[in-house]
Each structure stands twice: as C-alpha cells, then as structure tokens.
C-alpha cells in the first residue's frame, strides 16, 4: 500500500463519475444517542437486502442507525453495465457524505475492497471489513478450487456464480440458503476484472480504526487472506468458526454484528 498522499487527480476531476439512482435502506432508532451511523456496503452479487435481512434491525436494537447501500447495478439501484471499482467507491462516498454524521463504513466481501478505496476519499469514523475480498490472484485461485464451474467463466469475462457451500455454513436451513442464492445478481465484467488486477487502494484519509473479521471456514476468503488484510491495518482478524462467506446471512449472524457493535462502542468511548 502506497503511503503517499495524492493531491492532484486531474483525470478524475475531468471525468466525474456519472450519477446513478442509489438504493439506501435505512433503519434508525427512535432515540438518537449520538452514536456514529453505520453504512453497510455489499459485495459483488449482493445488495442492500443482504444486510436488511438481520444486521440492520439488530444494529437499531442496539441504538445505532444503520444504512444499507446497493452499489450501482445491484438490486434496487439504477443499472450500470459498465460500472468500475471507482464508480462503486464513488457510490459509497456519496452515500456516506449524505448521512448526518461521520460514518462507519462496513464492507462485506468485494464490498470491503470498495470500502478500502472509499477510505482514501472520505475520512470515515471507522471501517469494518467483513470477510474482505481484497482481490489479486489468490482470490481467483481460492474461488477456482472451491467452485471451478462458477468461477472459470468469470475469468474470461463471463458470469461469476457462487454456490451454497461457498457462502453459507451447514447450519443454515436449505430453503433459506436457496432463497438468498436466488437473489444474487452479477457484478459487471470491468469490476470483476479490476477486482483481480486493479490498483491497490490508496492510504486511508483521517487515520480511521479498522476492524477485520471473517470465518476460518470461509471458502471464498482463506484464513491467510484475512490475516493479510488485518495486518495491512495493523491488527488481527476476529474469527467466527463454522460460518460461510456471508456472515450477515448465515445461521450465526448475531455474533459478528454484536462483535462489530461492541468494538465500535469501545472505540467511540476512547478505548
């Protein structure tokens, strides 16, 4: 990760990202206790619905306002067949800047990579990377090993498919898993490609605390990748054994979100 601050961005100024309608599902507690809002960013194929299922409601119960974003091209957001990682990061920064207070960015899967890019453009209150897919060859190889039929086409520009064993643990009822799988969309070809070979995220602005969590039994993100991701932000990953890649949908969804909120409470009390 390059540590140098980049100030001059002529190319980006000259070619602003085109706006697309953004779906943001929101859940706010009746009483605002001044806690930082959370912005959930889904990974490839998912959408705001993935967080609306359990996490959004749970955050509200604990007094946090939660916002779940669909990136462009995902579920309720406007279509964007040519979306790039830059456009995704743009969506995250726009959504974060529209919230009333400095926001905690929570990115899942490839959404964590989008969050890592967004952190260079927006001084987040904190960031949480859930089962982060930060890209590179290792990601592709792991996916190939666990799901060759679903992954191979993606490498040549086709559709990336994830299967049940990659995303969920064994405890999740079959019906529920099928329901979630049927909602999965597809990322754009360019974004898929950039996930593998794109540029490293620039250093985060504002020096936010970063928490990395995942599952050692995740078949998309190997444990070594979790450790690497956490080391990048000078910490160690929090692990939730027995769960699949989709920590927010899997049977044990309560534990990771509680861990995130506990960590945030500790952080904001200056711990």
Partner 1 sequence: MTTFTDPGQPVPESSTLDLTRDGRSVSDRGETVCVIGAGPSGLTAIKNLTEHGFGVDCYERETGVGGVWNWRHDRSPVYASTHLISSRPLTQFPDFPMPDSWPDYPHHSQLLSYLERYADHFDLRRHVWFGTEVVRVEPVDGDRWDVTTRSTGGYGPERTSRYAAVVVANGHNWSPKLPDYEGLAEFRGEVMHASAYQDPAQLRGRRVLVVGAGNTGCDIAAEAAQQAAHCWHSTRRGYWYAPKYLLGRPADQLNDLLLALRMPRRLRQWLFHRLLRVSVGDLTRFGLPRPDHRMLETHPIVNSQLVYYLGHGRVTPVPDAVRFHPNSVELADGQQVDPELVVFATGYLPQFEFLDSKVLGDDDVTGRPVLWLNAFVPNHPTLAVAGLVQPDSGIFPLSHWQSVLFARLLRLRETQPSKAAAFAATVTARAGERYVGPVKESSRHWFEVGHADYLRALQRALHDLEAK
Contact residues for partner 1, defined by CB under 8 A: 4-17, 19, 90, 93-94, 97-102, 121-123, 205-207
| Cβ neighbours of residue 60 closer than 8 Å, sequence gap 6 or more | 27, 28, 29, 66
Closest CB to partner 1 among residues 14, 234:
14
Write a three-state SS string for 194-242: HHHHCCCCCCCCCCCCEEEEECCCCCCCCHHHHHHHHHHCCCCCEECCC
Name the minimum Å distance from CB 85 to partner 1.
17
Closest CB to partner 1 among residues 12, 61:
12
Closest CB to partner 1 among residues 7, 149:
7
Closest CB to partner 1 among residues 49, 88:
88
Name the minimum Å distance from CB 271 to partner 1.
17
Name the minimum Å distance from CB 1 to partner 1.
15
- CB 202, CB 7: distance < 8 Å: no
* HSE, side-chain direction, 13 A CA sphere, residue 143: 25
Neighbours of 37 (CB within 10 A): 20
Name the minimum Å distance from CB 38 to partner 1.
15
Name the minimum Å distance from CB 11 to partner 1.
4
- Residue 167 to residue 226: CA distance in whole angstroms: 16
Closest CB to partner 1 among residues 99, 196:
99
């Amino acid at each position: 990760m390059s540590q140098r601050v980049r100030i001059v961005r002529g190319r980006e100024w000259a070619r602003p990202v085109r706006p697309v309608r953004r779906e943001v599902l929101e859940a706010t507690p009746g009483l605002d206790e001044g806690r930082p809002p959370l912005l959930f960013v889904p990974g490839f194929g998912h959408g705001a619905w993935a967080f609306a299922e359990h996490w959004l409601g749970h955050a509200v119960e604990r007094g946090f306002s939660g916002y779940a974003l669909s990136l462009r091209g995902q579920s309720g957001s406007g279509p964007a067949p040519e979306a790039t990682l830059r456009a995704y990061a743009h969506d995250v920064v726009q959504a974060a800047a529209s919230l009333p207070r400095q926001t905690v960015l929570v990115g899942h899967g490839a959404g964590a990579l989008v969050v890592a890019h967004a952190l260079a453009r927006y001084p987040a209150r904190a960031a949480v990377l859930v089962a982060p897919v930060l890209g590179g060859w290792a990601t592709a190889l792991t996916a190939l090993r666990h799901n060759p039929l679903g992954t191979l086409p993606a490498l040549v520009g086709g559709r990336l498919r994830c299967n049940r064993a990659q995303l969920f643990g064994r405890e999740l009822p079959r019906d529920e898993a099928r329901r979630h799988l049927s909602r999965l969309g597809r990322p754009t070809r360019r974004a898929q490609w950039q996930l593998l070979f794109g540029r490293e995220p620039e250093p985060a602005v504002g020096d936010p605390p970063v928490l990395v969590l995942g599952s050692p039994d995740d078949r998309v993100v190997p444990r070594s990748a979790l450790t690497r991701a956490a080391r990048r932000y000078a910490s160690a990953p929090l692990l939730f054994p027995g769960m699949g890649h989709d920590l927010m949908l899997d049977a044990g969804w309560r534990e990771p979100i509680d861990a995130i909120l506990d960590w945030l409470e500790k952080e904001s009390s200056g711990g």
